[in-house]
Amino acid sequence: MTTVFPDAIISKKPRAKIGRKIVLPMAIALTVIFCLAPILWQLLTSVKLNADIAAIPNVYFPTRYTLDHYRELFQRRPFLNYILNSAIVSFASTLLALGVGAPAAYALARLRLQGERWILAAVLIVTLFPPILLFLGLLEVVRYLQLGNNYLALIIPYTAINLPLTILVMRSFFQQLPKDLEDAAKVDGYSTPRMLLEIVLPMTIPALVTTGILTFISAWNEFIFALTFITREDMKTVPVAGAQLGGASPFEIPYGPLAAATVLGTIPLVLLVLFFQRRIVQGLTAGAVKG
Amino acid sequence: MDRKLELIDLKKAYTPKVVPVKNISLDVQQGEFLTLLGPSGCGKSTILRLIAGLEQPTSGRVMINGRDVSRLSPGDRNIAMVFQSYALYPHMTVYENIASGLKLRKTPHAEIKDRIREVADFLGLHELMDRKPSQLSGGQRQRVAVARALVRRPDLFLLDEPLSNLDALLREHVRAELKQLFGSQNAPIVYVTHDQTEAMTLSTKVAVLNNGYLQQLDRPDVIYSHPATQFVAGFIGSPQMNFLQVPCDDGNAYVGATIIPLPKGSTTPKSIVLGIRPEHVHLAQGQNEPILKGEVFLTENLGMHDLVSARIANATGEAMNVRAILPVHSGFRNGSTAGLAFPIEQIHWFDTTTGDRISNNPSPMMA
Amino acid sequence: MKDILREREQRTGWLLTIPALLILALVFAYPIVRAFWQSLFVQNLGTQLNPEFTGVANFGRMAQDGRFWRTMFNSAVFTFSSVFLELILGMGIALVLNQQFRGRGAVRTIAILPWALPTALIALGWTWIFNDQYGIVNDILLRFGLIKTGINWLGDPTLAMISVTLADVWKTTPFISILLLAGLQSISNDLYEAQAIDGASPWQSFRQITLPLLMPQVVIALLFRLAQAFGIFDLISVMTGGGPGGATETVSLYIYSTIMRYLDFGYGAALVVVTFLLLVFAVAIAAYFLTRSRAKAAGEI
């Protein structure tokens, strides 16, 4: 691993040593606080009693806790549905993105296609289109095909949004696979389909998992299309439903349940990140560096 | 039926400018071990891939056992190949790796087991059968790759620089093993390497390649003693052959003050390239040989011998360097003068423009 | 002789790629093309939602549309301030993460969290944090005695923009830092050691080696972030809805309400077209700088 300030030099300069002993831990602490604070605050808010939530000055260490806000989520709203909807749409679009993107990535990595540069350029450029520019045209398509309040209305666009990342990451992975293996398979007598299935695919699984995680996260978090194409309450996805949580009256904003919704809506992703941190970083950098 | 590989006017052009294989014709008979030898970029690996069917020739044909296989996929040519990086399937055990080719050809289970046992005996692989490639050392992986090829009993063996990834000590050992292993094989073998030691020790025939062309195809000893071109002469033999470009007149070459007669039977060119190997240059001892006086400027100890570099003045006053392998402690210090003898029968003459050999001794018939 | 191998390869290649290309074309290419066409029509409640061809009238209207220009301005302010802050903070975090220390993996995990969580839900959290009565920001400021009464963050035009920018910076900085980290790790240690032997200070090393070699990465990150920030929707929609009084209304929010609330499809399409063209222009410029900085990084070192 590279370091910005090589250790050998550090030990000779007293000023730099102080840098490492004091500045670095402070910087690390700041980074951690910076990243975690808002999340932790939401977590805390979600288990505070309403009285504590509305207390001034703020209560940082409440003495009493409650799970009422969470209960409210499931009683007043079909929160379980929201989670299921998000899960179904995210899984489906992930599988589709992998199923369509990985073969394309293989073709772009191994088979010398004419027009390869154009395809890659197109794939890259397309990642720059903000969804807001696309939703009008897609809205018309959705209406025309009567796919409103249908999972497909989200699955297809999510697949498309995730395809560029899938293709770029998988392509860089395929490029690193030793070519010899495929040659050896050909000499052994494998036909191309069998070779892809029995030799190449097993080796690709780690990369597929990494990419799949990234696409899952992206699909779960999507907002504009979910907001526009799904209007039926029990079909909504978690981000949309959470943002639309209202109170009994227009003046009462249920901060407790809102915080609870935030926590619940993000738990699956937090778990994913916790377990797959290394893979996620790998995937992100592979896709980014290739760009 | 006699096994045989023939390459007829083989050519491969990727683009009009990039032509790695320009015109290759050769054949390898049953029981022969042919090495394709040459510097990187000479086309040897491309030729191997053309033989294997991993690439298609632009023109020309590949014939195996009299069958034109130029259009067949690798799997249909009944060949086996050992790759430089061994190319073992990482998710399969050693047993499955070795068996993969046989399984694809629907060989009966029992026969697969028998053949693998035979090969495992041969190569000492029994304890490794259940391991995955990542659990093997480099040398072990190489043996598995060889086993995978042997077990197929193909019409032709192809080996692509199989020793390059081994460290120097292991390489010598495995080289000897390979010689014994494939020596007992009947099928012709084509071996690719850039290492001349491997080529000379392992093969029955060597094809020296440069820039897509075949420079010489001969037994190793003939390539050493009768190189067909200056390129071959300079590529084979370490330390490299001395090359001196010297003027000629009236049947003689003039190296500094020394006169050396040219071979008879050709018109005297303006100048000529004289080649002589350092191991053939020796200290003058008053025999009837051309002697050159040179000023020593460098002595490198090679263990068993010294490699002495000396400067010789040309007729025009330019300096030419000559290297000689001399016994250790010949007592030369920098600046001292040495009398170096060039035995006439060890001198090779080359045309200055084409690099072709100008006949010296008649060479033995090409095999 | 025909190269059958190559031909077969090409055919297989296209077979494998076409499905992906089709999906991409449908979701990305079609809407843009459609928007270009639709922008030439007026189609709103006034025309009973029937399209009527008007040529470039929509664009003329846009030029006069004060609200449009304001949203453009807001988008620009938001984009540039957030991206600027993200680059600096991101670089800092990347430098920290590049060091060897115990628990580095844990810190990296924590650093990814902001990026991985749904913007809309986190925006809810930020709304609460900036709440004028109960928000924690005001609480901390009050406790330190820096202010006397709670600041109405989301109710004041300028402050609202600041709040939204800060929320976005929080969300995206980690992503930028990961990108930069990848770039940092690709710089060979040898270069730093050579500099150290020459007696360069860490700051000099940073300026002479890190910055130039990282430039391509920075420009790429910039490119993506600019495009993303320009299209920002979730965050602002949830936190302020574009208020107060349109102070945080960005182009994307304007497009959305034009289409979904006012049902003014033709004009909405025109807005999409203009935004798209601006994006293309910005990308072209950035791409130009990218190739130049790449050449510099290769040539100077």
CB within 8 Å: B101 and A199: no
CA distance B283 to B341: 6
Q: Which residues of B touch A197 (CB under 8 A)?
A: none
* pLDDT for the residue A7: 45
**Average confidence (pLDDT) over B114-121:** 90
DSSP readout, B269-297? Answer: PSEEEEEE-GGG-EE--SSSS-EEEEEEE
Q: List, for residues A165-181, the tens digit of each pLDDT value.
A: 899 888 888 888 888 88
Residue type, B287: Q
Q: What is the DSSP string of B294-328?
A: EEEEEEEE-SSEEEEEEEEE-TTS-EEEEEEEEET
Query: Can the peptide bond before residue C244 be classed as cis, meaning omega within 30 degrees of 0?
Result: yes
Q: Would the CB atoms of A223 and C120 count as touching at under 8 Å?
A: yes
Q: Which chains does chain C touch, 3 or more C-beta pairs < 8 A?
A: A, B
pLDDT over 90 (residue A94):
yes
Q: So what's the pLDDT on residue C186?
A: 78
Neighbours of A216 (CB within 10 A): 23
pLDDT digits (tens, 9 = 90+) for B134-163: 899 888 898 899 999 999 889 999 999 988
Q: How far apart are CA C300 and CA C293, in angstroms?
A: 10
Per-residue pLDDT tens for A2-43?
445 444 444 444 555 666 677 778 888 888 888 888 888 888
Give residue for tokens 């995990």: C109
B237, pLDDT greater than 80:
yes
| Greater pLDDT, B113 or C128 | B113
Asked if B205 and B35 count as a contact pair (C-beta separation under 8 A), the reply is yes
Percent of chain C with pLDDT over 90: 6
Structure confidence at residue A17 (pLDDT): 62
For residue B87, give the nearest of A183, A190, A202 by CB distance: A183
Is residue A6 reached through a cis peptide bond, with omega within 30 degrees of 0 on the bond before it? no
Band of pLDDT at residue A287, cut at 50, 70 and 90: low
- DSSP character for B2? -
- Contact partners, residue B130, CB within 8 Å, separation at least 6: B93, B94, B95
pLDDT confidence of residue B156: 92
DSSP letter (8 states) at residue B356: B
Residue B175 class from Cβ within 10 Å (0-12 exposed, 13-18 middle, 19+ buried)? middle
Q: B356 pLDDT exceeds 90?
A: no
Strands B337-341 and B348-350: unpaired
Question: For the segment B4-43, what is each residue's pLDDT rounded down to a tens digit?
Answer: 888 999 999 888 888 889 989 998 998 899 999 999 888 8
Scanning the structure block, which residue is given the tokens 């993969």?
B100
Q: For position A248, what pLDDT does the model report?
A: 46
Distance of CA C178 to the CA centre of its chain: 15
Q: Which amino acid is at A50?
A: N
Separation of alpha carbons C13 and A112, rounded Å = 8
Can you say whether the dihedral through the CA atoms of A152, A154, A159, A161 is positive or negative? positive
Higher pLDDT, B288 or B186: B186
Crossing angle of helices B138-150 and B109-123, in 10° steps, is 140
Tell me the pairing of strands B205-210 and B33-37: parallel
Using only C-alpha atoms, chain C has a radius of gyration, in whole angstroms, of: 24
Q: Name the band, by pLDDT with cuts 50, 70 and 90, for residue B94.
A: very high
pLDDT of residue B50: 92
Q: Are A34 and C170 in contact (CB under 8 A)?
A: yes
- Name the more confident of B169 and A62: B169
Low-confidence ranges of chain C (pLDDT < 70): 1-3, 293-294, 296-301
Residue C271 Cα, gap to closest chain A Cα (Å): 9
Angle value at C-alpha B66, between B62 and B71, nearest 5 degrees? 40
> Is the per-residue pLDDT at A1 higher than 60?
no
Residue type, B263: P
Closest CA to C233 of C252, C216, C213, C220: C252
* Structure-block tokens of residue B88: 């073992």
With residue A14 as reference, give the H or E element that holds it.
helix A14-18
Decide if B77 contacts B52 (C-beta within 8 A): yes
Domains of chain A as residue ranges with CATH: 76-237+264-290 (1.10.3720.10)
Indicate if the pLDDT at residue B359 is higher than 80: no
- At C298 the pLDDT is 65
Which positions in chain C touch B59 (Cβ < 8 Å)? 1
Domain-wise residue ranges, chain C: 67-300
What is the spatial distance between Cα C159 and Cα C152, in angstroms, rounded to a whole number?
8
The pLDDT assigned to A88 comes to 93
> What is residue B1's predicted lDDT score, i.e. its pLDDT?
60
Q: Which residues of C touch B70 (CB under 8 A)?
A: 1
Tokens linked to A53: 């939530």
Domains in chain B with CATH codes: 4-234 (3.40.50.300), 240-358 (2.40.50.140)
Q: Give the β-pairing of B282-283 and B337-341.
A: antiparallel
Looking at residues A246-257, what average pLDDT do you find? 61
| Closest chain C CA to residue B54 | C5
Q: For chain C, which residues lie within 8 Å of any Cβ of chain B, measuring from their own Cβ?
A: 1, 3-6
Expressed in percent and rounded to 5, the helix, strand and coil fractions of chain A are: 75, 0, 25
Residue of B15, B18, B51, B54 best to disrupt the A interface, most CBs of A under 10 A: B54
* Phi and psi angles of residue B229, each rounded to the nearest 5 degrees, phi first: -140, 165
Helix (H) or strand (E) holding B339: strand B337-341
Rounded CA-CA distance B200/B238 in Å is 12
Query: Going by CATH, does the domain composed of C67-300 fall within 1.10.3720.10?
Result: yes
Average pLDDT taken over every residue of chain A: 81
Whether complex ipTM tops 0.85:
no
User: Do B13 and B19 contact (CB within 8 A), yes or no?
Assistant: yes
Are the C-beta atoms of residues A114 and A108 closer than 8 Å to each other?
Answer: no
Distance from CA of B220 to the nearest CA of A (A): 29
Residue B141: both structure tokens together: 């992986």
Query: For B251-291, what is each residue's pLDDT tens digit?
Result: 888 887 788 888 876 778 888 898 999 999 888 887 778 88
The residue of chain A with its CA nearest to that of C100 is A3
* Contact between chains at C1 and B58 (C-beta distance less than 8 A): yes
The pTM of the full predicted model, rounded to 2 decimals, is: 0.79
Cα separation, C243 vs C127, whole angstroms: 13
Is there a contact between C1 and B56 if contact means CB atoms under 8 Å apart? yes
Q: Which residues have a Cβ under 8 Å from the Cβ of C240 and sit 6 or more positions away? A: C154, C160, C163, C164, C247, C248
Which residues are bridge partners to B21 per DSSP?
Answer: B12
Residues across chain A: 291
CA B224/CA C19 separation, integer angstroms: 59
Whether A251 has a pLDDT exceeding 60, the answer reads no
